[in-house]
Structure 1
Amino acid sequence: MLGVPVRGLVVLGVLATAGLMYVANGGARLGAEESGTGPCRVTVIADILNVRSGPADTQPIVSTMRRDAVVPAERRVENGFRMLDEGRWVKDEFVLPTSDSDCS
């Protein structure tokens, strides 16, 4: 077959299949759903928590959250701030991952 060994075609087929699975899974690690890890969600433990537009105390406050609020969060922590959705940030020391979350 055009001088290509069968073993080479098998390797190419396996790599192509793996690549298609990666793309179909949105670039996420394959099998992540099966590991039992859930999305990252955090609970506010401060009375009132400032939500900022960036990961620093000098960034503007865009909103606030009350104690016991539970919100989706990212695993990303920068400069002591945890990223929430839509580019919002909170001081990480004032939130705790929920018991069913994987925020590591």
Structure 2
Amino acid sequence: MFGIPTRGLIVIGVLGAAGVMWVSNGGKPMGSEKAAAECKVTVTADILNVRSGPADTQPIVSTMQRDSVVKAERTVQNGFRLLADGRWVNNDFVAPTSDSNCG
């Protein structure tokens, strides 16, 4: 097409797509906002029980100390927040960090 080899057209297309993604992200590398978009919570209780499921009746699998920071999900069920590793904590005893997005 237009005397440009197919490989050249592919390169031009990839560079064009990358340019569009760069511009649409405000000139920042793609994914640079990911850290700010993560949900992270800080433990507000002296000792917080971490459970295998979203209920007080679920087994305690570990504990966390006050001021511990951990990645979490936006999911809250029965008053329990799902942590990023699949465990659960009582949402009354954690607070989103100032730089997180817990929805």
**Structure 2 alignment gaps of length 5 or more:** 1-24, 26-30
Runs ≥4 residues deviating over 3 A: 33-37
Alpha-carbon shift at residue 38 of structure 1 (Å) = 1.6
Deviations 1:9-67 (A, max 9, x none): xxxxxxxxxxxxxxxxxxxxxx7x58785200000000000000000000000000000
Q: Pairwise CA RMSD of aligned residues?
A: 2.4
Alignment-derived partner of residue 42 in structure 1: 41
Alignment-derived partner of residue 16 in structure 1: none
Whole-angstrom CA distance in 2 between matches of 1:74 and 1:89: 10
Aligned positions of 1:17-56 closer than 5 A: 37-56=36-55
How many residue pairs get aligned? The number is: 76
Name the TM-score, length of structure 2 as normaliser.
Answer: 0.66
Identity of aligned residues (%): 67
Whole-angstrom CA distance in 1 between matches of 2:48 and 2:67: 10
**Structure 1 alignment gaps of length 5 or more:** 1-30
Alignment-derived partner of residue 20 in structure 2: none
Whole-angstrom CA distance in 2 between matches of 1:34 and 1:64: 32
Whole-angstrom CA distance in 1 between matches of 2:32 and 2:70: 23
2:98 corresponds to 1:93 = no
Alpha-carbon shift at residue 87 of structure 1 (Å) = 1.6
Name the TM-score, length of structure 1 as normaliser.
Answer: 0.65
